Structure 1
């Protein structure tokens, strides 16, 4: 009987985790689909257009995700407050997240506006450089709605209102697809703007996403008899500092991870347009599968945070391990697809055989790191639910910037391995980071359970 009870308890907790994870995973897939749609829609223009969109996104997301990453502290603070049943506290944390989003926006926009000035010094292919700069500077105008969306998303996930997040991103993809069709190629009386039209379409979709989640948060507060905006808290320096203390290491971790792949894209831009296009397509594929453990990671952070807030340390530990099991299972399946059906994936993006040929080899390398990518991502979320964000920052810095990127650069340029050498460094970095973070989660969650 005790064994049956334990199995029933774990099964119930797994169902609860999946009820939270599935909508969040759909949200992450919807988020990633925007850049994939952009890449696919410009893919019929030229290899240079694919490279330009990839380059623009790589440069944009490293600094923009720092702003989003600071708001990840809301995962811990809102979910733990919700676990304690303190709903007003959830609302107060949301307000401080909004203030941070507004405060970071002008700084990020200025940085992103200036970024294309560095392209000549990075020896970016001149044909790619001009289109990428146009794409980036239009995309920059979507920064504020992107950060507002991020703040309201963390709040809604923390209070178990995840369906509006999925709806916002799935429907926003339809808007982005239609906008791309009209603005890239000049349909419906719109000018044919090429890659600039793709960026404008993404900006409009982000405005829509932010609006949907603001309305969802307002409705959530109204259901408990609380007007979201009538009782909006003012700026609290103490709360902002607490949010920054948790969020800044999380933001640094994200920037180091995304920035590492962005740096790899910059390095790839020094190669041929074909190598850059293959790199961007393979990276899109790996990033798409990454959205599943990323969504599961967010669910793990919330589930662990709820359990910690409720004072249930053993449940917090189980939630993290269950999330890891789910993520590893999915990434193992993704690796099989990359190995045995690469053409099925690559043909979606391009009909250029030379790009596909290089892409097949890159997808084989992506298959090698899928499971490790899932482990490090979900362990990061589970640790965030405990309130631990510094260990993930240090692991990503050492893994990518001290080991993986230097090794990849050496293999790519000094050893003449090209794009395959660059991806070798990234793969080995992911393996190292996954081992370190899995150990950190096991140790810290074990200590918490023993102290309970």
Structure 2
């Protein structure tokens, strides 16, 4: 029993130390969008908040395929590290950059098509006027975010997760400063209003990408993995592998985020107050989700290491610990949201009608914290054992067969308004959490590591 406890204590410590910088970095990524929305809500008002909200949601939805697809590289690098295969790590890094560039091109074209056909989302005339230009800038900035994410896989896969964390935190600070300056036209800059917020995100993502690339190529700890002697090694097979397991992994993110993005569109059908309230509540929920996804990434890296060591007990232990940590974390987030829901809402806006709706939505957001955390970590640890196809079907069922139809019925047929859409989201998250967790333990039970 003492050995069992000691193993868990050591794994909890290792996973926590690995996850903490990833969680902070993930928090920094989502807080850039939150910063944009707070600044827009404060300086421009609810129309600007609604426009920025739907543009950010659609852009993030499109980018989710690329971000999810690239996330499979870190567990592969962790596996190669456990096998002490330095040339393979180099090939994985270069293949990841190539995949990021392909995602930039393909998903960028998808984003431009959405902008061109923006009126199909049936938003108010004011939103239709302001959102497309904002979204165009964010879509361009996604290309730099993809390269940053691909580069980040190397440092994360080698368990040096603090690197991306530090750069992301500096990026968050820069984004806040650029938002204030460009929205209001301070220090001689033109007053750009809503477009200034999007431009701030673009500048910040470019600087973050350059900073991470510069650090990795100039730091001694990474030089042996980036040595020019490996340049002649082909990467086409790994590019194909990353696409093969990365696209289903990206679709897992897509199906969930698409459900929330379509919820934004349905909120626009209900009215501008509901849309603004939804954007506030979803920003808070997205913050805790991205932090939980950091635990999922860390769990995937630890499971990938166990796979490289061909140690089934370590794979099981790493999965158990990742799930225990996210349950503890999301339970605390649930209590925090319940206690301070009004405080969080009033950070964004002072409109009483919007505040009343947002507080109701925050209650549902608190309830689904556990489900959201468990499902994202389950996806992470399944990714660590390269199981991506069945989880993709699970997420599609949970969000598109269950969540969205239920939310639509409750909101529009049973007249539950905004709260009905969120109850549908709660049902989808809970179904996903249960099915993905069962999937992981089913595979572990039948797995034989050769």
Q: Is the 2:91–2:235 contact (alpha carbons within 8 Å) kept by the matching residues of 1?
A: no
Q: What secondary structure sits across from 1:28 in the alignment? A: helix
Q: How far, CA to CA, are the matches of 2:233 and 2:145 in structure 1?
A: 22
Q: Is the 1:405–1:426 contact (alpha carbons within 8 Å) kept by the matching residues of 2?
A: yes
Give the Å deviation of 1:144: 1.9
Q: What secondary structure sits across from 1:270 in the alignment? A: helix
TM-score, normalized by length of structure 1? Answer: 0.96
Counterpart mapping for 1:22-421 below 5 A: 22-44=20-42, 45-220=44-219, 225=224, 227-228=226-227, 231-232=230-231, 236-421=235-420
Q: Could you tell which deviates more after superposition, 257-266 or 413-422? A: 413-422
Give the Å deviation of 1:46: 0.9
Q: How far, CA to CA, are the matches of 1:173 and 1:302 in structure 2?
A: 25
Give the Å deviation of 1:107: 2.1
Q: Is the 1:335–1:368 contact (alpha carbons within 8 Å) kept by the matching residues of 2?
A: yes
Unaligned runs of 5+ in 1: none
Q: Could you tell which deviates more after superposition, 401-410 or 64-73? A: 64-73
TM-score, normalized by length of structure 2? Answer: 0.96
Q: What secondary structure sits across from 1:344 in the alignment? A: helix
Give the Å deviation of 1:220: 4.9
Q: Is the 1:218–1:228 contact (alpha carbons within 8 Å) kept by the matching residues of 2?
A: no
Q: Could you tell which deviates more after superposition, 29-38 or 108-117? A: 108-117
Q: How far, CA to CA, are the matches of 2:233 and 2:195 in structure 1?
A: 38
Unaligned runs of 5+ in 2: none
Q: How far, CA to CA, are the matches of 2:54 and 2:133 in structure 1?
A: 11
Q: Could you tell me which residue of structure 2 aligns to residue 430 of structure 1?
A: 429
Q: Is the 1:222–1:228 contact (alpha carbons within 8 Å) kept by the matching residues of 2?
A: no
Q: How far, CA to CA, are the matches of 1:399 and 1:279 in structure 2?
A: 21
Q: RMSD between aligned alpha carbons?
A: 1.6
Deviations 1:130-159 (A, max 9, x none): 211111011222122111001011121111
Q: How far, CA to CA, are the matches of 2:226 and 2:309 in structure 1?
A: 26
Q: How far, CA to CA, are the matches of 1:211 and 1:391 in structure 2?
A: 36
Give the Å deviation of 1:212: 2.0
Give the Å deviation of 1:228: 4.3
Q: How far, CA to CA, are the matches of 1:334 and 1:226 in structure 2?
A: 38
